[in-house]
Amino acid sequence: MDSLLMTILLVTIASVFTGIIGYLIRHTALARQIHRSKDDAEQIIVEAQSESQTILLAGKEESLKLRNTAETEIRDRWREIQNQERRVSRKEEQIDNRVDSLEKRDRKIAEKEKMTERIQEETQQIFENQIGELERVASMESEEARDILLERMDEEIRDETNRRVRQMESQIREETQERAREILIPVIQRYAGDVVAEMTTTVVPIPNDDMKGRLIGREGRNIRALENATGVNLIVDDTPEAVTLSSFDPIRREVARLAVSKLVQDGRIQPARIEEEVEKAEKQVDETVRKAGEDAAYEAGVNGLKPEILKTMGRLRFRYSYGQNVLKHSIEVAILAAAIAADLRANVDVARRSGFLHDIGKALTHEIEGPHAMIGADLLKRLSVSQRIVHAVADHHGEAGNNSQDGFIVAAADAISGARPGARRDTAEAYTKRLENLEEIANEFEGVDKCYAIQAGREMRIMVRPEHIDDVGAMRMARDVAKRVEETLDYPGQIRITVIRETRSTEYAK
């Protein structure tokens, strides 16, 4: 029994000792593993720092490469700008090639016309064959069969003709628009004038309201003397510290403004003094007009004009159209017309002079009745200006019917100057009235469903009823509306007429 207990005790002590030894061994291995992990972590940190430095160096090298690339691109761009003049010269050669292509296209159109005649002959042959066949099969009278065939053939020929006409119109329109863009885009880019911000001044400030009584004078003698001397109405109302000048003639209004300003500053207001100041103001305005005409001619590059012409052009300094100063507008048109003529290989000097003088008639519209284009042409004709320039001035709104190349160039430059953003300014009432007039004209035509004037009145879109208007009728309506607008309205630039015919078919699948 004692030996058995001893044996059990020894076994127990051995087991405990073995467990303690195993625990020590595992603890030692775990400590080594932790130490090894710390070493690995430190190694990873070192490698990460080394790699980050490598990446930083690579980023600096890439930044340097990008900078070198950017400098290279800037140098290339500079060389491209320097080569622009050479490209312009090559553009002239391209225009010549374009003209040759247009001539080839004209020959193709002539060939198509011959083809159309041949088709008509073949159609006539088919028509005669069908007459005999109808008489034989249907036992119809010759006149009755002829009427049926004529109606059928008319419809077929009309459809084929319309299709060919639309195809040719579309092709010619695309070619002419591309050609126009090639000419006008460089011209517009070459000139960028100031935006109009100046308006006609008709209000004269005064230091106090007591000055109004002195301007009126005893029993109104001062205001009568001023109005008789200047031809301007002096309006004295409740506006504080201001009086208003009213006159249809801007030159008279400017004379009156100068005279009233001088009288207000001097304080001595009586009929004799008024006449003296008006006379001085007239001389001052005459000198201003003369100098304005000379400066404008110099700026536009037009030399050798007669003093009468320069003085008349100088009067446009006080004339505005839709908020645009007419004298500045004339300078713009001269520059633009010369650029267009250079691209078209037309006479640059004639285009420049015609553009500068195209609105000279507006300086006389308060004195002479009639369109300003015809008034200006008559004035230039009396002053012995070149007949070619006279025709261009008379025809820049299409009123003379000369259809000269110079007239078209001036009309294009006039439209560019008047249509660029900020060139003209109109009142909201006139703007709304113009849109209403355009829509009223379109609604007068039969078959119109809806009509909208858009883009500040420069385009009309007309929706027609498809059951009342066919494709041919839509084309005819566009032409008729455009003609009616030309005859009825006085508008700047061009108005695009678009007739839309839409047919919709709807079915439901059940």
User: What is the mean predicted confidence (pLDDT) over 399-421?
Assistant: 73
| Per-residue buried b or exposed e for 224-257, using 16+ beta carbons within 10 Å of the residue's own CB | ebbbebbebebebeeeeeebebebebbbbbbbbb
What residue numbers bound the domain in which 457 lies?
A: 428-501
pLDDT band at 142 (very low <50, low <70, confident <90, very high): low
In terms of domains, do 217 and 287 share one? Answer: yes
| CA-to-CA separations, 409 to 277, 295, 340, 378, in angstroms, rounded | 45, 24, 7, 20
Average pLDDT over residues 328-347: 86
Place 201 in a pLDDT band, splitting at 50, 70 and 90: very low
Considering the domain architecture, whether residues 210 and 183 belong to the same structural domain is answered as no
10 Å CB burial of residue 195 (0-12, 13-18, 19+) is exposed
pLDDT given at position 199: 44
User: Among residues 214, 207, 328, 323, which one has the least CA distance to residue 274?
Assistant: 214
Distances from the Cα of 102 to the Cαs of 154, 170, 177, in angstroms?
A: 32, 15, 13
Q: Is residue 393 over pLDDT 70?
A: yes
Highest-pLDDT range among 69-83, 164-178, 189-203: 69-83
Note whether 108 and 183 are same-domain residues. Answer: yes
Residues 182 and 98 reside in one and the same domain: yes
Any idea what the CATH number is for the domain that residue 467 is in? Answer: 3.30.70.1350
Task: Say if residue 435 is in the same domain as residue 414.
Answer: no
Q: What is the pLDDT of residue 428?
A: 47
Distance (Å) of CA 104 to CA 94, 100, 173: 15, 6, 16
Instruction: Answer with the one of 149, 166, 190 that is the final residue of a domain.
Output: 190
Q: In angstroms, rounded to a whole number, what is the distance separating the alpha carbons of residues 345 and 340?
A: 9
Last residue within a domain, chosen from 419, 453, 471: 419
pTM more than 0.85: no
Closest C-alpha among 340, 332, 230 to residue 274: 230
How many other CB atoms sit within 10 Å of the CB of residue 482?
15
User: pLDDT confidence of 419, banded at 50, 70, 90?
Assistant: low
Amino acid sitting at position 32: R
29 Cα distance to chain centroid? 87
Looking at residue 400, what is its pLDDT? 62
pLDDT digits (tens, 9 = 90+) for 29-69: 777 777 777 777 778 887 877 777 787 787 778 878 888 88
| Pair 317, 297: CB distance under 8 Å | no
The mean pLDDT of 502-510, rounded to a whole number, is: 75
Q: Are residues 252 and 340 in the same domain?
A: no
Bridge pairing between strands 203-205 and 233-235: unpaired
- Mean residue pLDDT of the chain comes to 78
Is the residue at 81 inside a domain? no
> Other C-beta atoms within 10 Å of 322: how many?
14
In the block, residue with structure tokens 């050609």: 179
pLDDT at 243: 83
The bridge status of strand 496-501 relative to strand 459-464 is parallel
Retrieve residue 227's tokens.
């109005």
pLDDT of residue 98: 80
Q: How far is the CA of 281 from the CAs of 229, 243, 310, in angstroms?
A: 11, 18, 20
Number of folded domains that form the chain: 5
CB 293 within 8 A of CB 314: yes
**What's the pLDDT score for residue 136?**
64
**DSSP readout, 149-178?**
HHHHHHHHHHHHHHHHHHHHHHHHHHHHHH
pLDDT tens-digit readout, 236-289: 777 777 888 877 777 888 888 888 888 888 778 888 888 888 888 888 888 888
Strands (E), 178-247: 203-205, 233-235, 242-246
Q: Based on the domain organization, do 449 and 397 belong to the same domain?
A: no
Query: Is 344 part of a structural domain of the chain?
Result: yes
Q: Would you place residue 336 in the very low, low, confident or very high pLDDT band (cuts 50, 70, 90)? A: confident
CATH code (residue 373): 1.10.3210.10
Q: Which residues are bridge partners to 472 per DSSP?
A: none
Q: Rounded CA gap, 94 and 75, in Å?
A: 28
Question: How far is Cα 317 from Cα 292, in angstroms, rounded to an integer?
Answer: 7
Q: Residue 493 gets which letter from DSSP?
A: S
Question: Is residue 397 domain-shared with residue 369, that is, in the same domain?
Answer: yes
Distance between CA atoms of residues 234 and 132, nearest Å: 89
Residue 127's pLDDT band, with cuts at 50, 70 and 90, is confident
In this structure, the chain runs to a length of 510
Taking a C-beta distance cutoff of 8 angstroms, is the pair 371, 354 a contact?
no
pLDDT tens sequence across 482-497: 888 888 776 555 788 8
Q: Residue 308: inside a domain, yes or no?
A: no
Q: Give the pLDDT mean for 291-317.
A: 86
Is residue 9 domain-resident? no
We report the CATH number of the domain holding residue 221 as 3.30.1370.10
Radius of gyration of the chain (CA): 44
How many Cβ atoms are within 10 Å of 480's Cβ, its own excluded? 14
Q: Please check whether residue 156 lies inside any domain of the structure.
A: yes
Q: What is the pLDDT of residue 196?
A: 41
| Listed residues 137, 157, 190: the one ending a domain | 190
Cα→Cα distances 33→24, 38, 43, 44, Å: 14, 9, 15, 16
CB atoms within 10 A of CB 158: 11
* Same structural domain, 412 and 433: no
pLDDT greater than 50 at residue 72: yes
User: Does one domain contain both 348 and 406?
Assistant: yes
Assigned domain for 27 exists? no
